[in-house]
Amino acid sequence: MRQRSPDEPLPRRLCEPTISVVMPAYDEAANLAATLGQLSAALRRLSSRWEIVLVDDGSRDATPELMAAPPAGVRYLRLTRNFGKEAALTAGLAHARGELVWLMDADGQHPVELMPAMLQAWREGADHVCAVRRARDDESWFKRAGTRWFYRLVNVGSPVPITADAGDFRLFDRRVVDALNSLPERNRFMKGLYAWVGFEPVLIAYTPLPRHAGTSRFSPLRLARLALTGITAFSNLPLRLWSALGAGVACCALGYGIWVVVEHVVAGHPVPGWPTIVAGMMFTAGVQLLSIGVLGEYVGRIFDEVKQRPVYLLAADSGAPPLEEPLHW
């Protein structure tokens, strides 16, 4: 039998990994006790070395008071204001120390019962395990249709396929976390970045639980803004579409021009008057304004990137909790 050298890592199926759970929370004071309680009980069953990185995304409720003395195993990071979930996840990933990092929502919608199956997939070699919603029956028709269209649009133009219906309930190996942490962009559409780093995800279907308390923190307007970030960050399709439309309009105008000249020269009809000119001008002006708008959307994103502002700022950090000593196995 081959002797294992002392520095060689144990195979995944034998080792007990250090686990971090990154949990963004915005106004979730009513949910934190239940969510953190369930989660720490589940983590105790999975490993003896774990931490929860709770990222308070500028909550305006009682979260800071509740977390003045964080429960055992919890690291409390508070951002200086509400930077948005993508920034909160970025902050959490940067501070997580585990060999394995889970992302979970703070509202109790991500069932801890799925964690053993996700861990098992990692043990079998997956670097990225992603929980995918079985159905979206709990959402309004409007949100379901919007999501379907969003994934269709973003996937037409994106060089990497972005898994539809895969939220932020995921498990990453340290290699993926290091890759994500190395990406410098400011416009962070995390679902796109998870796909971009390229570790093929293993998908596990799940049914989200109802929210413990409160309602979704994403208004239709916020979702639309996030969708726009996703599309502009991962696709040049809108730019190409406008080029195609521009070419189409130019061809039509050329064809019409030729027809007018031929009709005038051959049939001797007078050239039609101003209504055609006005309609044509208004149409092309509209197309031009829209295309400038699309261009502006990309220029705005470039502006955000060149300013090089940090993605988030920390107001408080309770410090890393001790990771317990490994058990002997």
Assigned token pair, 207: 């049914």
Q: Read out DSSP for 166-205? A: EEEEEEEEHHHHHHHHT---SS--HHHHHHHT--PPEEEE
Q: In whole angstroms, give the CA distance from residue 188 to residue 193.
A: 7
Q: Is 190 in the site for ligand UDP (CB under 6 A)?
A: no
- Smallest separation (angstroms) from Mg ion to the CB of 62: 19
CB atoms within 10 A of CB 57: 27
Q: Is 191 in the site for ligand UDP (CB under 6 A)?
A: no
Q: In whole angstroms, give the CA distance from residue 254 to residue 261.
A: 11
Q: Is 127 in the site for Mg ion (CB under 5 A)?
A: no
Residue with tokens 């509740």: 66
Cβ atoms of 26 and 109 closer than 8 Å: no
Q: Is 218 in the site for ligand UDP (CB under 6 A)?
A: yes
Q: Is 107 in the site for Mg ion (CB under 5 A)?
A: yes
- Smallest separation (angstroms) from Mg ion to the CB of 109: 4
| Of 19, 22, 28, 187, the one binding ligand UDP by CB under 6 A | 28
Q: Is 90 in the site for ligand UDP (CB under 6 A)?
A: no
Comparing CA positions, the residue from 279, 85, 304, 69 lying closest to residue 184 is 304
| Of 31, 109, 158, 232, the one binding Mg ion by CB under 5 A | 109
Q: In whole angstroms, give the CA distance from residue 159 to residue 192.
A: 10
Site size toward ligand UDP (CB under 6 A) is: 16
Q: Is 140 in the site for ligand UDP (CB under 6 A)?
A: no
Considering the complex, state which of residue 107 and residue 173 has its C-beta at the smaller distance from Mg ion.
Answer: 107
Summarize as ranges the residues that interact with Mg ion (CB under 5 A). Answer: 105, 107, 109
Summarize as ranges the residues that interact with ligand UDP (CB under 6 A). Answer: 24-26, 28, 57, 82, 84-85, 88, 105-107, 109, 216-218
